[in-house]
Amino acid sequence: MNKNIKFCLLISLIYFTGCASGPKPLYSWGDYEDQVYSYFSGGPIEKQILDLEKHAEKTKAAGLALPPGFQAHLGLLYSKVGRDDKFAQQLDIEKSNFPEVIPFFENIANKFKKK
């Protein structure tokens, strides 16, 4: 009986753990939220670019997905330092991963080009 009770508890523990942990995250966020806050707070853009690029590389190497808006935000940062080609490239990646944004990008096509 003792052995059976122990087995019951083990099964219950495994089940309960499964209940509590939940599904895997959809995206690899890193410190993206804080990078965006740094941008809004007037932090140094070149450093934000480097940090975000590093996170993008790590995410890609791990076979994970970058969050919605990540590529677009990085694109915006590129446009702020005059790298228009990288800006366009980032927007293309965002559009291919998240077609929901295509109409918006078409509406603002030439908005951020010259800064």
Partner 1 sequence: MKYFIKSLAVLVCIFMIGCASKRQPYDYTAFKNSRPKSILILPPINNTVDVKGTYSFYSNASKPLGEAGYYVFPISMVDELFKENGYTNPNDIHSIPSGKLREIFQADVALYLVIKDFGTKYSVVSSATVVTVEGTLVDLKSGSTIWSGKATASSEEGKDNNQGLAVAMLSAIINQVASNFIDQGHKIGKITSQRLLSGGVNDGVLFGPRHSLYMTESK
Footprint on this chain of partner 1 (rule: CB under 8 A): 4-5, 7-9, 11-12, 15-16, 19, 23, 25-27, 29, 32-34, 36-41, 67-70, 72-73, 76, 94, 98, 100-101, 103-104, 107-108, 111-112
Q: 21: Cβ–Cβ under 8 A, 6 or more apart, which residues?
A: none
Q: How far is the CB of 81 from partner 1 (least distance, A)?
A: 14
| CB closer to partner 1, 54 vs 104 | 104
How far is it, in rounded angstroms, from Cα 105 to Cα 85? Answer: 16
- Let me know: does 66 contact 27? Beta carbons within 8 Å: yes
Nearest to partner 1 of 15, 54 (CB atom): 15
Please say which residue, 13 or 60, places its beta carbon nearer to partner 1. Answer: 13
Q: Cβ distance 45 to 80 under 8 Å?
A: yes
Dump the DSSP string for 22-82: -SPPSS--TTHHHHHHHHHTT--HHHHHHHHHHHHHHHHHTT--PPTTHHHHHHHHHHHTT
Closest separation in Å from C-beta 43 to partner 1: 8
Work out how close the CB of 56 gets to partner 1 at its nearest, in angstroms, rounded to a whole number. 15
Q: Compare residues 37 and 60 and give the one whose CB is closer to partner 1.
A: 37
